[in-house]
Amino acid sequence: MTAAIAPPEASRDDTVLDISGLVRHFTGPAGTVRAVDGVSLSIGRGEIVGLVGESGSGKSTVGRCAVRLDRPTAGSVTINGRDVTRLSKRALRPLRKDFHLVFQDPSSSLDPRMTVGAIVAQPLRLHRLASGDALRDRVATLLAQVGLRPELARRRPHELSGGQRQRVSIARALSVDPQLLVADEPTSALDVSVQASVLNLLVDLQRERHFGCLFITHDLAAVEYLADRIAVMYLGQLVEQAPAAELFADPKHPYTQALLSAAPVPNPAAQRSRARIVLSGELPSPLDPPGGCRFHTRCPLAVDRCRTEPPALRRLAEGGGRQVSCHLVADDGTAPDAAAPCPVTINRP
Ligand SMILES: Nc1ncnc2c1ncn2[C@@H]1O[C@H](COP(=O)(O)OP(=O)(O)OP(=O)(O)O)[C@@H](O)[C@H]1O
């Protein structure tokens, strides 16, 4: 398990989400899936943190635990200073308005029997925040804020387009003014032509309302555009975390370097300066993750130490508070280039 260190953000008093040492294992007939294995991450008010990594690396599991749709095996989740990890459903109910999840596929998260108006009104009713005319006005305002015409309130989800349905989910999630929104691939089920407008809507609403946002995605161009900070996951653990601009300009972890090298960039000159790193092999099974550094089986730079000793996620001496878990990255941030493997000096403690 990773010896994850608590980021300094965890001690800020504007922290809305603080995940500490999160572990989520699923035990079934085939064994124990170690979906998340020691993740620590925090999000401040008004901050968008992007969570990226290959399919199966554990991103959605982190997101589900963050909003208590799933319970961690170990570790804690604190929202607005309250540890929600072990609260009963009843104790959790009044706090639920502070955090919401926007799912990848709005069709599966919207009740097909309810009208759009009733769906958006539901959290306001549940938390007794509005009723009667005030409730109707609030729903109309919310629909307008997500760019939907008021008459759509009488329709049902199947009568809307995918983009409109996702706007309804966003209106529902934001109806009670949450402090934290977890958006799990909110545009990946949508037509490419409407993805940008839904993303822009999310960003506009976030800038206006200053909620903290955990944005889970495979879309590196989107995350570069909208996230303040990015955390990179590999096989259940965080391998790197840094301000978005710094991560994209200078990825330190060999896995981050490989991930970003595969992403299309809007500026072709930048693309040319970044050699493509093709990783060998598949993501190993989380049923039996490799010992030592979990990435060593695919890392073009791995040395003996990587095969035996798990690297801790440690803070580098950089202004932005970057964290990296790699034996080959020096404390001052000097990092080898996975695109040009060559003998490296191991930075032994
Ligand atoms: N309820 C469950 N029972 C058993 N295994 C699970 C369960 N939920 C997730 N997993 C496993 O945990 C691992 C992490 O899954 P998760 O969905 O969190 O990854 P992800 O990074 O979000 O993937 P994707 O990008 O494809 O959504 C995967 O191996 C997945 O099969």
d(CA 102, ligand 1 centre) in Å: 17
- State whether the beta carbon of 55 lies less than 6 angstroms from ligand 1: yes
Residue extents of the structural domains in the chain: 8-324
Atom of ligand 1 nearest to the CA of 216: 22
- State whether the beta carbon of 57 lies less than 6 angstroms from ligand 1: yes
For ligand 1, atom 5, name the residue with the nearest CA: 26
Cα distances (angstroms) measured from residue 252 to each of 37, 41, 111, 259, 341: 21, 18, 44, 11, 14
Question: What is the structure's pLDDT at 347?
Answer: 37
Order the strands of the 74-79 sheet from edge to edge.
31-44, 15-28, 74-79, 82-83
pLDDT in tens, 92-146: 988 888 999 998 887 788 999 999 999 999 999 988 898 899 999 999 999 999 9
Question: What is the structure's pLDDT at 349?
Answer: 34
- State whether the beta carbon of 289 lies less than 6 angstroms from ligand 1: no
d(CA 67, ligand 1 centre) in Å: 16
What one-character-per-residue DSSP string does 80-144 give? TTEE-TT--HHHHGGGGGGEEEE-S-HHHHS-TTS-HHHHHHHHHHHTT---HHHHHHHHHHHHH
Q: Are 48 and 226 in contact (CB under 8 A)?
A: yes
Fold observed for domain 8-324: Rossmann fold (3.40.50)
In this prediction, what percent of the chain has a pLDDT beyond 70?
A: 91
d(CA 209, ligand 1 centre) in Å: 31
For ligand 1, atom 30, name the residue with the nearest CA: 56
Question: What is the structure's pLDDT at 103?
Answer: 86
d(CA 280, ligand 1 centre) in Å: 22
Q: Is 208 exposed, middle or buried (0-12, 13-18, 19+ CB in 10 A)?
A: exposed
Q: Are 8 and 35 in contact (CB under 8 A)?
A: no
Q: Give me the amino acid identity at 145.
A: Q
- State whether the beta carbon of 61 lies less than 6 angstroms from ligand 1: yes
Please report, in angstroms and rounded to a whole number, the separation of the first and last CA atoms in the chain.
19
- State whether the beta carbon of 286 lies less than 6 angstroms from ligand 1: yes
Tokens found for residue 151? 């008459």
For ligand 1, atom 10, name the residue with the nearest CA: 35
Atom of ligand 1 nearest to the CA of 236: 14
Question: What is the structure's pLDDT at 19?
Answer: 97
For ligand 1, atom 24, name the residue with the nearest CA: 55
Tokens found for residue 179? 């402090």
DSSP reduced 3-state for 150: helix
pTM recorded for the entire structure: 0.90
Identify the CA nearest to 251 among candidates 52, 71, 97. Answer: 52
**Which residues in the chain show pLDDT less than 50?**
1-11, 272, 343-349
Residue to substitute in 22, 25, 32, 60 for testing ligand 1 pocket (most ligand atoms within 8 angstroms of CB): 60
Question: What is the structure's pLDDT at 11?
Answer: 45
d(CA 189, ligand 1 centre) in Å: 17
Q: Are 266 and 221 in contact (CB under 8 A)?
A: yes
